[in-house]
Amino acid sequence: MQNTGGTKITIKETQEKLKNGDISPEDVVSGFLSRIKERNKKTNGLLSVFEDATKEIKKKDKKLPLYGAVFAIKDNILIKGERCTAGSKLLEHYIAPFDATVIEKIKKKGGVFIGKGNMDEFAMGSSTENSAFGLSRNPLDLERVPGGSSGGPAVAVADGMCNAALGSDTGGSIRQPAAFCGVVGFKPTYGTVSRSGVISMASSFDQVGPLANSVEDAEIIFNAIRGKDEHDSVTSSLIKKKVKGKIKIGIPKEYFAEGMEREAKETVEKAISKINSPEIEVVKISLPYTEYALPAYEVIMASEVSANLARYDGIRYGLEFDRPAAKTIQDAYLNNRGEGFGKEAKRRIILGTYALSAGYYDAYYVKAQKVRTLIAEDFKKAFKKVDVILTPATPTLPFKIGEKIEDPLAMHLSDIFTVTANLSGLPAISLPCGKSGKFSVGAQILANRFYEDILFSVAKKLEKIWKQ
């Protein structure tokens, strides 16, 4: 019997093999399980593994669109009856009482789950070094980070532990690790995918999306999980489509400016020069407010984080410490949150508390939201001229473990090319566009809000060009 684990395999390929009778459904899961057994100790992509996926896959109807597809799920997405930690000590013992909407949808459409992916605590970080349950390692080089915060899901897909994964993206947390690990990562338009049952970080940015081995798989998964949901009050089923005609790709000069590592920059430039198709026109554009995107993101994100993480008091979600109980409820909160949150979470909560405090609210929070308007308008103007925008996904190749963990600002700069999509609510995909040594380099494609259709169509064309 053919074993599916060990090499990257798309949902489409697995389905094809099942259809032809080359493998049985049990083989699909057991292949991945044996790969996990062999590799997870080294890369630590998964925090928990579901052995009973073998039983689950046999129960599924062969006619379902996701039949045969095996998923890893980021550990901030609730699967009923399973532990859900969000990479935090504060949620070490938390068992999810219900399924997230995206999990319900994947179950109904035939997919099964093989485990939960490691992540930076509460999705805050760009390297997965902020997990309370140990760091993950990049399968392409075990001394380097896989990116973050969806580092575990990216590792699981890149290391052949599953067909695909679900992650969450607040400032690049799907796209950056996908780029670092050499897989495809997609952040949908804000509001297209429900966040019900997803642990909140910054609510005006958070979106759930797929990490996959091909653009086609990412599209299949997106179509399975998208849609209005009464449990997430800002969801919509809106779909917008481009009228036929030549595709225009805009290259914004601001994304190729200072601070970019030479190897990454050259690989993306080379990839752009390969785009030579009669249906595609490449034009230079400008997004002048780009340099203010990360500062605006920092303020809004930290503010929303400080509000969302206020619910973790160490009491309701069951944290236990081996020390005498506090004398007052205030001391209990101070102790539990002080011991429960990691360094990065604490920094961001304190920064957000500062930005939202009386006297600073207008100067920081409102100011940042105004700058956000200008950044969104940059894109609005650009999309009058072009259909999609192409940029590098990350400013550097995967960095070494420990290299940036003591320098929070340097770490945050990893997201410099990805935060603009979250600020403006745009759909954005990162996909491998070339190699630099043993590392894969990611390009990012952005489209206007709700124009996933054109985004996937261009991404599939470019994927084909860049694979040649």
Active-site amino acid positions: 74, 149, 173
Smallest separation, CB 116 to other proteins (Å): 15
Smallest separation, CB 164 to other proteins (Å): 26
The C-alpha atoms of residue 191 and residue 210 are separated, in whole angstroms, by 15
- Which range binds other proteins by CB under 8 A, 65-73, 90-98, 395-403, 453-461? 90-98
Within positions 165 to 204, which residues make up the interface with other proteins, using CB under 8 A?
Answer: 190-191, 204
Residue 295 engages other proteins in binding (rule: CB under 8 A)? yes
Residue 402 engages other proteins in binding (rule: CB under 8 A)? no
Residue 465 engages other proteins in binding (rule: CB under 8 A)? no
Residue 257 engages other proteins in binding (rule: CB under 8 A)? no
Q: Which residue, 64 or 376, is less far from other proteins as judged by CB?
A: 376
Residue 370 engages other proteins in binding (rule: CB under 8 A)? yes
The C-alpha atoms of residue 366 and residue 362 are separated, in whole angstroms, by 5
Smallest separation, CB 332 to other proteins (Å): 5
The C-alpha atoms of residue 83 and residue 81 are separated, in whole angstroms, by 7
Q: Which residue, 10 or 303, is less far from other proteins as judged by CB?
A: 303
- Which range binds other proteins by CB under 8 A, 167-175, 279-287, 369-377, 397-405? 369-377
Within positions 410 to 449, which residues make up the interface with other proteins, using CB under 8 A?
Answer: 412, 423, 425, 449
Taking CB under 8 A as the criterion, the residue among 228, 385, 400, 467 binding other proteins is 228
Residue 409 engages other proteins in binding (rule: CB under 8 A)? yes
The C-alpha atoms of residue 344 and residue 246 are separated, in whole angstroms, by 46
Smallest separation, CB 351 to other proteins (Å): 6
Cross-strand pairs, 39: none
Smallest separation, CB 299 to other proteins (Å): 6
Q: Which residue, 283 or 363, is less far from other proteins as judged by CB?
A: 363
Q: Are 155 and 138 in contact (CB under 8 A)?
A: yes
Smallest separation, CB 291 to other proteins (Å): 7
The C-alpha atoms of residue 147 and residue 341 are separated, in whole angstroms, by 20
Residue 242 engages other proteins in binding (rule: CB under 8 A)? no
Residues with Cβ within 8 Å of residue 429, at least 6 apart in sequence: 175, 184, 185, 186, 187, 215, 218, 444, 445, 455, 456, 459
Smallest separation, CB 92 to other proteins (Å): 8
Residue 325 engages other proteins in binding (rule: CB under 8 A)? yes
Write out the two tokens for 132.
């309370």
Q: Tell me the number of residues near other proteins by CB under 8 A.
A: 77
Taking CB under 8 A as the criterion, the residue among 24, 369, 460, 466 binding other proteins is 369
Residue 43 engages other proteins in binding (rule: CB under 8 A)? no
The C-alpha atoms of residue 372 and residue 293 are separated, in whole angstroms, by 7
Cross-strand pairs, 447: 388
Classified as helix, coil or strand, 73 is strand
Q: Which residue, 129 or 298, is less far from other proteins as judged by CB?
A: 298
Q: Which residue, 49 or 282, is less far from other proteins as judged by CB?
A: 49
Residue 306 engages other proteins in binding (rule: CB under 8 A)? yes
- Which range binds other proteins by CB under 8 A, 56-64, 123-131, 223-231, 253-261? 223-231
Smallest separation, CB 343 to other proteins (Å): 7
The C-alpha atoms of residue 47 and residue 75 are separated, in whole angstroms, by 8
Cross-strand pairs, 185: 211, 430
**In 309-418, which residue ranges form alpha helices assigned H by DSSP?**
329-340, 343-356, 367-385, 408-412
Give every strand in the sheet of 247-252, ordered side by side: 46-49, 112-117, 70-74, 164-169, 207-212, 184-187, 428-436, 439-447, 388-392, 247-252, 280-285
The C-alpha atoms of residue 372 and residue 425 are separated, in whole angstroms, by 10
Q: Which residue, 149 or 422, is less far from other proteins as judged by CB?
A: 422
The C-alpha atoms of residue 324 and residue 202 are separated, in whole angstroms, by 34
Taking CB under 8 A as the criterion, the residue among 245, 320, 359, 468 binding other proteins is 320
Residue 239 engages other proteins in binding (rule: CB under 8 A)? no
Residues with Cβ within 8 Å of residue 415, at least 6 apart in sequence: 126, 171, 172, 176, 294, 297
Residue 307 engages other proteins in binding (rule: CB under 8 A)? no
CA-angle at 146, arms to 212 and 308, nearest 5° = 85
Residue 349 engages other proteins in binding (rule: CB under 8 A)? yes
Residue 339 engages other proteins in binding (rule: CB under 8 A)? yes
